[in-house]
């Protein structure tokens, strides 16, 4: 596989962009090679600057539920673009997508649009503190909620990949208000709450973790969190930036039948364009300016092009009963095939999958939290990643990121992936 153009672009980029990339995990540093520079994408495929074709299991880190360059979404963008790119004023599209989100997501009565998942989580925490009058929050080790100061304490995703989960630049006075619990360990929550009685404003959690690899909640874990929050006057925040509309039309909270107080969204609601949102109970959301005293603003929030793409995406999701069934069938086909190959070759492994999110861990342990995720053999993952890439399969370049399947992935794509998978695994 020739990568001359990508290599040259990366060399040039490092002169002008820190590390040569605008988001750390894109650097491919943890898998020992230069990143590929992508020139186009369509359906289940992406193409790099050298013309190499790949079956894509990154999907722009999740939002491409329907596949790349979906014609209806592109048409919606084109129609809207003709009327202008940004107004800094209300539009009808904002109202339409807000109404649709409240219909689809069980717990959201009102929603505020922002520009990224980081903005959404940061704002949700501010709102929870204002509503409760308390300052401390609980997050879970290895969960990633964006790069706001509050969250970069034992964070997952790129921070975990590069071994720097506690970022420099965060004052101790900020860090002291973030308390870390263990995902899937309700006892760790009980201990923290008891030790900080009456001081916890919010618990924020990825209901299905995607940022230390795909890790599902254990039975009753989310329900127990809900109960603790009810008993202690704590706001429960589901970070569904990744899981929202991916695991079900109503997100993970529909799948697990647990209603949080606030939900953060992103990825899919932009149809591939930059967007985020947070929403929840009306009594909490109405604290936001201009209704209330909690300030949050953004010139590009509710950008018409992003709203057009997102509304089209959610309209397709809401009007089709087959989407999640097809995603489950394709995802199950891949998981079953991978299990057969790994078992036949006798390697130690664990595949975690929830719907169309999945991760292969190279470990003999069940992976259910930060510590067990770290038990995975990252050297084996590097060999696996590179073996798949050389065979035309594009995976997340980190052991600690979930992979995604889209509606555009065909049964033939899955079979081609499994052929490449067996060849790559044999080389490890």
Cα–Cα distance list, 41 to 26, 34, 46, 330, 419 (Å) = 17, 20, 4, 20, 22
Q: Which of 57, 144, 311, 349 is catalytic?
A: 144
Q: Determine how β-strand 45-48 pairs with β-strand 38-42.
A: antiparallel
Please report, for residues 106, 191, 296, the alpha-carbon distance to residue 113 in angstroms, rounded to integers and kept in the order given.
Answer: 18, 35, 11
| Parallel/antiparallel/unpaired status of strands 262-266 and 235-239 | parallel
CB-based contact 266:275 (threshold 8 Å) = yes
Q: How far apart are CA 24 and CA 14, in angstroms?
A: 13
Reply yes or no on whether 239 is catalytic.
Answer: yes
Q: 230, 281 in Cβ contact below 8 A?
A: no
Selecting among 56, 239, 261, 377, the annotated active-site residue is: 239
267 is catalytic: yes
CA distance 108 to 281: 6
**Beta bridge partners of residue 237, listed in sequence order:** 204, 262
The reply to whether 144 belongs to the active site is yes
- Of residues 267, 350, 380, 383, which has the active-site annotation? 267
Encoded tokens for 344? 């036949």
d(CA 284, CA 299): 23
CA 297/CA 254 separation, integer angstroms:
29
d(CA 180, CA 13): 36
Catalytic residues: 144, 239, 267
């Amino acid at each position: 596989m020739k990568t001359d153009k990508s290599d040259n672009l990366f060399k040039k980029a490092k002169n002008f962009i820190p590390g040569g990339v605008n988001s750390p995990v894109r650097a491919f540093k943890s898998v020992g090679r230069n990143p590929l520079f992508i020139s186009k994408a369509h359906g289940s495929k992406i193409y790099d600057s050298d013309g190499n074709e790949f079956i894509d299991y990154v999907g722009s880190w999740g939002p491409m539920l329907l596949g790349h360059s979906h014609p209806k979404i592109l048409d919606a963008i084109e129609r809207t673009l003709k009327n202008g790119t940004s107004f800094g004023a209300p539009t009808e599209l904002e109202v339409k997508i807000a109404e649709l989100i409240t219909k689809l997501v069980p717990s959201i009565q009102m929603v505020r649009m922002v520009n990224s998942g980081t903005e959404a989580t940061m704002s949700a925490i501010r709102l929870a503190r204002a509503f409760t009058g308390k300052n401390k929050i609980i997050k879970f080790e290895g969960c990633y909620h964006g790069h706001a100061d509050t969250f970069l304490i034992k964070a997952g995703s790129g921070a975990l990949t590069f071994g720097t989960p506690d970022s420099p630049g965060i004052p101790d006075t900020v860090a002291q208000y973030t308390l870390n619990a263990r995902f899937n360990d309700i006892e760790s929550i009980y201990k923290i709450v008891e030790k900080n009685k009456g001081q916890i404003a919010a618990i924020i959690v990825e209901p299905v973790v995607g940022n230390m690899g795909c890790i599902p909640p254990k039975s009753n874990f989310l329900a127990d969190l809900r109960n603790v929050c009810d008993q202690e006057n704590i706001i429960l925040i589901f970070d569904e930036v990744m899981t929202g509309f991916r695991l079900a039309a109503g997100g993970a909270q529909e799948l697990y039948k647990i209603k949080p107080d606030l939900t953060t969204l992103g990825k899919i609601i932009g149809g591939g364009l930059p967007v985020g949102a947070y929403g929840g109970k009306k009594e909490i959301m109405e604290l936001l300016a201009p209704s209330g005293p909690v300030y949050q603003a953004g010139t590009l929030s509710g950008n018409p092009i992003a709203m057009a793409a997102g509304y089209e995406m959610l309209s397709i999701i809401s009007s089709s009963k087959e989407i999640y069934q097809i995603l489950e069938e394709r995802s199950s086909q891949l998981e079953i095939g991978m299990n057969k190959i790994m078992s036949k070759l006798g390697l130690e492994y664990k595949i975690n999958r929830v719907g169309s999110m999945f991760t292969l861990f190279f470990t003999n342990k069940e992976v259910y939290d930060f510590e067990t995720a770290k038990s995975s053999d990252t050297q084996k993952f590097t060999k696996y990643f590179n073996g798949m890439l050389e065979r035309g399969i594009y995976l997340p370049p980190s052991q600690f990121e979930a992979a995604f399947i889209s509606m555009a992935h065909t049964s033939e794509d899955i079979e081609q992936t499994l052929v490449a998978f067996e060849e790559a695994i044999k080389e490890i």
